[in-house]
Chains A and B, each alone.
Chain A
């Protein structure tokens, strides 16, 4: 029996797909699996797992959080970057924040709704982290476009004729009443605090630069989330900032901590590939091994 042309074509397509699936979808990856079990490759293929004290404590190349379950930093450990993966460093929910460069207006929590957290803009997240890290490390955490209270310094400016004309009203969008706004007046109008739920969309969103230096004492990677949410590394600048706190918590010299951090710092491969970075888990494990914290 001869099949009609349209059917035989689809039959050929199905056979081709099955052959390719057997070859490329089973034989190839399984062969690579076998190669991955060769000595020298096996550790990597299995996920670069790392043991300490007889327990598996993580993967050498996957970051983890060094905080209490409430998110409070453990002072004896170097801290990782902020993470948007699940509740933080969750490999089953890898993610970046995906908030845009002009994500500057918070959704304020509604006091009428129990446990409403609102939604922080990326700017407020950055400001809040900068303030918290500054306080933890004892440096000035102020940044451009941030209020001293650690939220985005953003005003809604209402003009008489929409975009033009004299200013009729100014609201500090990220400071919920009864907060005192970070500036008292703008363009000769008094600045109000924001009432949750009120519609300010007719005002012009105006971030206020403030007089903080362009480069804060708190490094950029300390206040921004990574792409994967699993970044295992921090910048050498962020490691330097943390060294004094760790030295104090473990009762050792700052120089000793800095030296150890240097041992866990990788430079650019071939001099130009990537950025210098400090492996946080490896460093913290080394700290525990050499300078255990007395309970």
Chain B
């Protein structure tokens, strides 16, 4: 079997497996998020937290709960890193320096998992498992909770109640994320991942040199890193590291896991709004964009354009032998299409046009299928924009799922859409204006790509990098931290504002003139709107970076 055929089967089998998982996984999440029953263990948690699990919240209270939880989490994680040298299992590492601790704290709380540090030489085991990994769970749960609040906004009528954030948070952690994490961690250990608290083992290699084999609770963190679309590696090399991704089949499984929740959430959405066809339409939009992108990256990597790949005869720089070029490319596409940002190969060394596609994946706004929850709410915003555009074309008040899309709704949607491009482009410009682009390893168009990739990744909460750029400076740590915070929290506020506004409405009955938002026509329109909006926003920047490099 040729490498290309194996790569095709690899990507194809992932698509089939996700298709099979769509209904059961989406239905399960629907039951978790709508059940009226609390588990006894959950009641204990609610008592400890001091909230009434049966009380619901308006959009303002829901948003304040999200912000309070995120704020407390950032502070906690910051302090945890700063004092790690006084704690158990610090491995002798000093406290993390202030700018880097800030950057890392906001990075993990916002589900970005951008890493300006190198895990094996900065973080002790306790900070990794009780600090960073906790946010791997919590930030994923926050994303899903916000998405579900928006869906409730569509489904409910004449109410200001959007659910209870604390109940959503706890249930998602306890009933969705933790069970998969427990099973997955055992599978990963069986596959060869490390799970220990060792400070490392000094060995003597056959050549007579010393090598320090690192330790750590890797498997328990690796599983939630993928399943929660986090992407922050235990080690610097992330999922390229043999301890984080030991075999070709763990590579497949990691891609499957990082796509699973985001791909299945449209089913949950369809169930809650009472029309599964709406879920299929959203899934179709995600699938068209995702499959197109995966095919493009695979094709471009196999064609290995660019001087160095041509000299080598293959795009193997930065890839692992056990995965090979196409299967690494599928991982790269999946990780940038979701907000994961884990990498099993290094995007900086990809052929120029593949790099452009990966950048484009993030610029789509992480919607195809996007991060856990954030992908669904991003896609629903795009659907709202699409019905608005369609409404303008035929001169009708736009509506989606029986809710009128008026001025107030459009303001929230437009603000949502404008946030991340603004943060990404202003950040990139600021880096050049202040001369901080000089830390990029490469020069010329590739240097611009590295800076643009960094800010796009941060603003969209992806966390992958053209890692040649040195970002462990006070300016970069601070600026990217701000970009991650704004890119996560502002959109969440706009989404919840939109949800509140939708929930208050009385649904308008469907009529002959209502746009059928479950038909292929609508799917095509959403794909078109998404691509056009992104192209209009980012084409000038892309033309100066990867396109200039790839076409010269």
Question: Would you call A64 and B207 a contact (CB within 8 A)?
Answer: yes
Query: B446 near A: Cβ within 8 Å?
Result: yes
- How many of chain A's residues touch chain B, expressed as a range? 35 or more
For residue B242, CB closer than 8 A to chain A, the reply is yes
Contact A227/B344 with A45-B219, A104-B307 known, Cβ cut-off 8 Å: yes
Q: B residues 335-350 with Cβ under 8 Å of A?
A: 343-346, 348-350
Binding site for A on B (CB under 8 A): 1, 3, 5-6, 9-10, 13, 45, 48-51, 64-65, 68-69, 71-73, 76, 118, 120-121, 129-131, 133-134, 137-138, 166, 169-170, 173-174, 178, 181-182, 185-186, 189-198, 200-201, 203-209, 211-215, 217, 219-221, 235-237, 240-243, 246-249, 251-252, 305-324, 327-328, 343-346, 348-352, 355, 441-442, 444-446, 449, 466-468, 549
How far apart are the CA atoms of A90 and B314 in the complex, in Å? 25
Residues of A close to B76: CB separation below 8 A: 14, 17
B196 near A228 with CB under 8 A, answer no
Which of A14, A85, A123 is the one whose CB lies under 8 Å from B308?
A123
B50 touches A90 (CB 8 A): no
Question: A residues 206-237 with Cβ under 8 Å of B?
Answer: 207, 209, 214-216, 220-221, 223-235
What is A's interface to B at a CB cutoff of 8 Å? 6, 8-17, 19-21, 23-26, 28-29, 31-33, 35-36, 40-41, 44-49, 52, 55-69, 74, 77, 81, 85, 89-104, 122-123, 126-127, 143-146, 152, 207, 209, 214-216, 220-221, 223-235, 268-275, 277, 281, 284-285, 288
Shortest A85–chain B CB gap in Å is 7
Q: Which of A26, A99, A231, A232 contacts B348 (CB 8 A)?
A: A99
Q: Which residue of the partner chain, among B212, B213, B313, B322, contacts A143 with CB atoms under 8 Å?
A: B313
A47 and B72 within 8 A (CB): no
Cβ contact within 8 Å between A9 and B65: yes
Contact B323 A228, beta carbon cutoff 8 Å: no
Specify which chain B residues have a CB less than 8 angstroms from the CB of A92 in the assembled complex: 120-121, 200, 212, 214
6 residue pairs of the A-B complex, CB under 8 angstroms, read A21-B131, A21-B134, A46-B194, A102-B352, A126-B312, A272-B1
Residues in B whose Cβ lies below 8 Å from that of A10: 68, 71-72
**Chain B residues near A23 (CB, 8 Å)?**
173-174, 178
Whether A66 pairs with B248 at a CB distance below 8 angstroms is no
What is the bound-complex CA distance between A199 and B169, given in angstroms?
A: 58
Q: Of B121, B198, B316, which is in contact with the most chain A CB atoms at under 10 Å from its CB?
A: B316
Min C-beta distance of A293 to chain B, whole Å: 11
Cross-chain contact B133 with A29 (CB below 8 angstroms): yes
Partner of A26, one of B130, B209, B213, B344: B130
* Residues of chain A contacted by B466 (CB below 8 angstroms): 98, 100
Task: Determine whether the beta carbon of B206 is less than 8 Å from that of A20.
Answer: no
Contacts of A275 in B (CB 8 A): 3, 6, 248, 321-324, 327
Which residues on A sit within 8 Å (CB–CB) of B118? 93-95
A271: which B residues are within 8 A, CB to CB? Answer: 1, 6
Q: A95 and B316: CB pair below 8 A? A: no
Establish whether residues B345 and A227, one from each chain, have CB atoms under 8 Å apart when the complex forms.
yes
Residues in B with CB closer than 8 Å to A33 are: 195-197, 217, 220
Task: Determine the distance from Cα of A33 to Cα of B441 in the docked complex, in whole angstroms.
Answer: 39
Complex Cα–Cα for A164 and B55 (A): 73
- CB pair B201–A25 under 8 Å, yes or no, is no
Residues of A within 8 A of B350 (CB): 101
B318 touches A47 (CB 8 A): no
Inter-subunit contact A91/B195 (CB<8 Å): no
Chain B nearest CB, measured from A35 CB (Å): 6
A58 to B221 Cα, complex, angstroms? 23
If A33-B195, A271-B1, A274-B324 touch, whether A55 touches B204 (CB-CB below 8 Å) is: yes
Cα(A281)–Cα(B242), bound, Å: 14
Given A33-B196, A122-B317, A44-B189 contact (CB < 8 Å): yes
The reply to whether A57 and B203 contact each other, CB–CB distance below 8 Å, is: yes
How near does chain A come to B28, taking the closest CB pair, in angstroms?
20
User: Nearest 4 A-B pairs (CB), nearest first?
Assistant: A274-B248, A101-B306, A227-B240, A25-B130
Assuming the contacts A33-B197, A277-B321, asked whether A126 and B308 have C-beta atoms less than 8 A apart, the reply is yes
Q: Provided the pairs A12-B49, A101-B351 are in contact, do residues A25 and B131 lie with their beta carbons within 8 angstroms?
A: yes
Beta-carbon contact of A102 and B446 below 8 Å: yes
4 additional contacts, CB 8 Å, given A81-B321, A231-B321? A24-B173, A29-B129, A44-B190, A227-B319
A14 to B72, CA, bound (A): 6
Chain A residues near B215 (CB-CB < 8 A): 47
In the bound complex, residues from chain B placing their C-beta under 8 Å from that of A62 are 211, 213, 242-243
Q: How far is the CA of A102 from the CA of B243 in the complex (A)?
A: 31
Q: Are A91 and B308 in contact (CB under 8 A)?
A: no
In the complex with contacts A29-B217, A226-B318, A226-B321, A272-B211 CB distance below 8 A: no
Nearest CB in chain B: distance from A5 CB, A: 9
- B-chain residues with CB within 8 Å of residue A216 when the two chains form the complex: 313
Q: Which residues of A contact B120 (CB under 8 A)?
A: 91-94
Contacts of B217 in A (CB 8 A): 29, 32-33
Closest beta carbon of chain A to B359's beta carbon, Å: 13
In angstroms, how far is the closest chain B Cβ from the Cβ of A2? 13
CA distance A214 to B304 in the complex (A): 12
* B373 → A minimal CB distance (Å): 17
A32-B182, A123-B311 known; A227+B442 contact, CB < 8 A: no
- In the bound complex, residues from chain B placing their C-beta under 8 Å from that of A32 are 182, 185-186, 189, 195, 217, 219-220
In this complex, what residue of A is CB-closest to B12? A272
User: Considering the chains assembled together, what is the distance between the CA atoms of A58 and B246 in angstroms?
Assistant: 15
Within the complex, which residue of B193, B201, B241, B327 is in contact with A44, where a contact is CB–CB below 8 Å? Answer: B193
Taking a contact as CB atoms under 8 Å apart, the answer to whether A61 and B204 are in contact is: no
Cross-chain contact of A96 among B193, B206, B349 (Cβ < 8 A): B349
Beyond A68-B207, A271-B1, is A102–B444 a contact (Cβ under 8 Å)? yes
Instruction: Give bound CA distance, A96 to B379, whole Å.
Output: 34
A89 to B211, CA, bound (A): 8
A193 to B209, CA, bound (A): 39
Q: For B306, what are the chain A residues with a Cβ–Cβ distance below 8 Å?
A: 101-102
User: B311 — which chain A residues lie within 8 A by C-beta?
Assistant: 123, 126-127, 143-146, 152
How distant is B197 from chain A, measured CB to nearest CB, in Å?
7
Task: Quote the shortest CB–CB distance from B71 to chain A (angstroms).
Answer: 7
